[in-house]
Structure 1
Amino acid sequence: IFITTLVVLEHSFADNIYSAVMPQTVTALTGSCVQIPCTFNISNFEDKRKNATSINGIWLKNKSQFADKDSLIAFNSSKNIIRGFSDIQMTGDLTERNCTTVFYNIMMNHSDSYYFRLEMEPDCKCAKPHPKYSPQPPELKPNDLTVKEETTVTLSCSAEAPCPKQPPTISWSNISESAHITTQLQEKPDKTQSVFSYMTFKASYKDHRKSITCTATYPRNTSDASTVESTVMLQVLFPPKETRVIITSVGTTVTLTCESHASPSNDLNYTWYKHGEETPIAWGKKINLTGTQIQTGSYFCIAQNKHGKQSSEEYFSTLMSVMLYLLITCAYNL
């Protein structure tokens, strides 16, 4: 479960401008904490701060009005009031226009609208955040991954860290043994933090159509952790590999089939050659040979797509191969 959404309220009266800046969205897991980055701006703040007898931060729940103080106050820094939470700490320095606050042990019943209020005697300034709950899977980039064989690939996976003291851990699955992974906690432009993990590897044709998963695990003050994940399928472009000839026989007709792995495979072309001749004898995945043709020698195929070509690894003596095939078939039938 996550907590989200903060908005900015700005007022302007005559020469007085009051504003608070917070991220549009933050997330928090139940049983964990959430840090709300918060800054504010007040016209002539330095002069007002010097003249103020005190400067305090207050978080109100549900309503911005301050009439019913006791029922609405979740936190008051001046009176050490904390209601509805196990703990709330204002980590920002109000004298530096920083109202960043950490709410601990988030529960489902904390879903509500919250408003920040700055009190400077004799002045009072206010701003509004609106938290609510919403799960967020990690962001995996790029989300469309098509690369050529032997290309160095870098994937990034980021997961929000609403509680910097308990950031999520990121793990990767179904990746190459040679993959290099680095992970770090970073601050984003809106002052929220996320864990970024970067995974670098060299693409092999064996990685084609492999699903790579990034999993974010969030610790919390409960018996279980919470995990979310994102997956991307790797498409590797490569020339024909493992090209070979497969021999089958029906009656006096022998069929030679050219098999090869390639990507893309829908544009594979097959060319057949007879041993000792430079001119192709046929095109296509399969060729059929009659009994007379079988006695004439050996054949091989070449598979080709736009990324390259490969010949079958060795010549095949069709006469020897077919005789052995027929011998085994007859023995089996007997």
Structure 2
Amino acid sequence: MSGLQIISFIIIISFVLLQTQSADVFSAVLPHTVTALTDSCVLIPCTFNISKFEEKLQNTTQIYGIWLKKRHDYMKDKSSVVFNSRQNIIQGFRHIEMIGNLTERNCSTVFYNIMMNHSDPYYFRLEMEPNVFRATFNTNANNASDSSKTVRINVTDSPQPPELISSPDVSKYVKEGTAVNLICSAEAPCPKQPPTLSWTNIPKSANIITQLQEKPDKTHSVNSSMTFNASYMDHKMNISCTVTYPRNISNNTTVNSTVMLRVSFPPKETHIIIKPSALVTVGTYVTFTCKSKASPSNNMTYTWYKRGQKTPLAQEKMMSFIVTHNNAGWYFCTALNKHGNQSSEEIQLLITGNIYQKTFNIQKFTLKVMLFVVYDVISE
């Protein structure tokens, strides 16, 4: 290799190195996808980084933000521009507002009055004049030519139902007295018009906190947390979280999610029902029923007792017999499941006597009266 060739090679290498060192390194942080609701707005959270940005700002007199739809090659196809803060262009939308401060690396933008035809990929472009920096961003910092990874707006007419989760899982039974936390979460694509959340069938001990939250990708959601202590009175209660999305033109849209609360608990409200009544005559067929609320209620056992007797009378939910004078007294029952037991209050069975015996006694009394009358007549 001649000396001239060596010098040329060194010059080329030096030029490449200089070009590499002076090349701008830039990237943008955008969510890959945002879901928007028709007749509403959508926020695209956006931040960017540029090498030596503060130094470039010192040489910048004006800074502009541009949004492109479908195509990212601004120099070849400017028909893709939907927003240009430099030329005050808004194309294809009723209104677009860049709420971020570009001098603070914030390019967050709100697109208003979303329609179905707005579903597309969008690219952000920054221009710092006079000719300090001009580039179109994407989310792939390792490959600036890769335009496949940028924000995409997906538009829908119907929002997804809210996500409803519980801790612990109330659909698999929670023990009475357990602290339960229900969290209802709904997407808030338009934080300026956030959805409202409401609950139905709220337990008496419930405490509810609802707030708008920012997610890791800078999009937003509305979260409502309801905490309460599980009560047997809430067993099999359907608790619903309802979300209402405001819309500019059409009616507000409401969606909901529901979970059934299942509570396990020992017998409650145990009591006795007597048929036909607790006041009966000898010879009446009477039925005692032990009633109780419990969960689980299958495989429950019932035991009957009479005051003054240590031995149980029966071990079944219903106890029946024909009344005699010996059946008078006080009775109670005990209900039992795997979580515990409860006894009913005592109830008194009163016996008024045999109706046939009463009739016979009346007849005897009438006969005696008649005999006395006859005796008096004869005596006279």
Q: Which TM class, normalised by the smaller chain length?
A: 0.7 to 0.9
For the residues of structure 2 that align with 1:93 and 1:126, how far apart are their CA atoms?
17
Cα drift, residue 79 of structure 1:
1.1
Among 237, 242, 248, which residue is 1:215 paired with?
242
SS in 1 for 2:270: strand
Computed over aligned residues only, the root mean square deviation of the Cα atoms, in angstroms, reads 3.0
Cα drift, residue 158 of structure 1:
2.3
Cα drift, residue 90 of structure 1:
0.9
The higher radius of gyration belongs to 2
Among 203, 213, 219, which residue is 1:192 paired with?
219
Cα drift, residue 152 of structure 1:
4.4
For the residues of structure 2 that align with 1:267 and 1:60, how far apart are their CA atoms?
68
Percentage of matched positions with identical amino acids: 60
Partner of 2:162 in structure 1?
A: 138
Partner of 1:126 in structure 2?
A: 137
Partner of 1:109 in structure 2?
A: 117
Partner of 1:26 in structure 2?
A: 34
Amino acid at match of 2:269: E
User: Which moves more between the two structures, 173-182 or 264-273?
Assistant: 173-182
For the residues of structure 2 that align with 1:48 and 1:125, how far apart are their CA atoms?
17
For the residues of structure 2 that align with 1:125 and 1:323, how far apart are their CA atoms?
103
Trace 1:127-206 onto structure 2 (pairs within 5 A).
127=138, 128-134=150-156, 135-142=159-166, 144-145=169-170, 146-176=173-203, 179-206=206-233
Among 90, 95, 102, which residue is 2:98 paired with?
90
For the residues of structure 1 that align with 2:289 and 2:222, how far apart are their CA atoms?
51
Cα drift, residue 80 of structure 1:
1.0
Cα drift, residue 266 of structure 1:
2.0
For the residues of structure 1 that align with 2:267 and 2:326, how far apart are their CA atoms?
27
Whether contact under 8 Å (2:32, 2:152) holds in the other structure is no
SS in 1 for 2:31: coil
- 1:76 equivalenced with 2:87 (yes/no): no
User: How big is each residue's C-alpha offset from its partner over 1:61-107, in whole Å with a ceiling of 9 and x where there is no partner?
Assistant: 11222245342111112111100111111111222221110111111
CA 1:290–1:25 in 2, change beyond 3 Å: closer, same or farther?
farther
SS in 1 for 2:120: coil
Cα drift, residue 244 of structure 1:
2.2
For the residues of structure 2 that align with 1:67 and 1:41, how far apart are their CA atoms?
22
Partner of 1:10 in structure 2?
A: none
Q: Any stretches of 5+ residues in structure 1 without a counterpart?
A: 1-12, 325-334
For the residues of structure 1 that align with 2:354 and 2:58, how far apart are their CA atoms?
103
For the residues of structure 2 that align with 1:265 and 1:293, how far apart are their CA atoms?
35
Amino acid at match of 1:186: Q
For the residues of structure 2 that align with 1:68 and 1:221, how far apart are their CA atoms?
36
By percentage of residues, which structure has more helix? 2
Cα drift, residue 18 of structure 1:
2.8
Partner of 1:235 in structure 2?
A: 262
User: Which moves more between the two structures, 139-148 or 73-82?
Assistant: 139-148
User: How big is each residue's C-alpha offset from its partner over 1:182-222, in whole Å with a ceiling of 9 and x where there is no partner?
Assistant: 32222222212222223344433221111111111111211
SS in 2 for 1:282: coil
Partner of 2:71 in structure 1?
A: 63
Amino acid at match of 1:137: P
SS in 2 for 1:109: helix
CA 1:224–1:323 in 2, change beyond 3 Å: closer, same or farther?
farther
- 1:310 equivalenced with 2:334 (yes/no): no
Whether contact under 8 Å (1:294, 1:318) holds in the other structure is no
Whether contact under 8 Å (1:18, 1:125) holds in the other structure is no
- How many pairs does the alignment contain? 310
CA 1:153–1:293 in 2, change beyond 3 Å: closer, same or farther?
farther
